[in-house]
Amino acid sequence: MSMQWQPPLPPPLPPPVRRPPPRRSWLPAAIIGSAIVIAAGLVAGALILKDRTVPDGAGTCQAWAQTRQTLRSIPALPQDWNWSTPNIDNYITIQNAPVGKALEVFESEIANDPADVAQAAQDYVAARRHQMQSLSNHTYVAADGVSVDTALGNLNRLCGIQDNGRPI
């Protein structure tokens, strides 16, 4: 028996080209939205705690301890950010909104006595608001951060708070 001649088989096809999955443009929006919701919840918690009565002399420092916790829980700007960081204006807005609310609550709880603690608290609020404004205006410089850190250190010292070098 003879076999009939058959044409050769075609060469195998190359494997399909794997393309990376399409970029998900919803992820940054989801992160930003989540940060806003978390920050709003923290500010709401601070507002609820605002109406608690505080014994004389401890009012400003107790209010500062609560405000400090609220400020520490607000998302910070990305590490090593600069003005060309993608979405930096959104990050600044996300940070400034809850910080502004927390400062409003804290400022309303600053007691007149002791005077040095009251002045330190007012200095911190003023320095932080200046920092927020300079970030929004794209005029922020390192000196703005130094003035906030100095006022923060003074307020923490007068209230007996050890910050262990952790920024808020």
Closest CA to 37 of 73, 63, 72: 73
In a domain, 51, yes or no: no
Q: Mind listing the pLDDT tens digit for each residue in 94-142? A: 999 999 999 999 999 999 889 999 999 999 999 999 999 999 999 999 8
Q: In the chain, how many domains are there?
A: 1
- Give the pLDDT score at 53: 46
CB of 46 within 8 A of CB of 102?
yes
**Whole-angstrom Cα distance, residue 158 to residue 139?**
31
Query: Is the alpha carbon torsion for 75, 70, 126, 161 positive or negative?
Result: negative
> Helix, strand or coil for residue 79?
coil
In a domain, 163, yes or no: no
In a domain, 43, yes or no: no
Q: Mind listing the pLDDT tens digit for each residue in 19-50? A: 877 766 777 777 888 888 888 777 777 766 65
The whole domain housing 143 covers 57-158
DSSP letter at 165 equals T
Question: Largest alpha-carbon pair distance within the chain?
Answer: 114
In a domain, 102, yes or no: yes
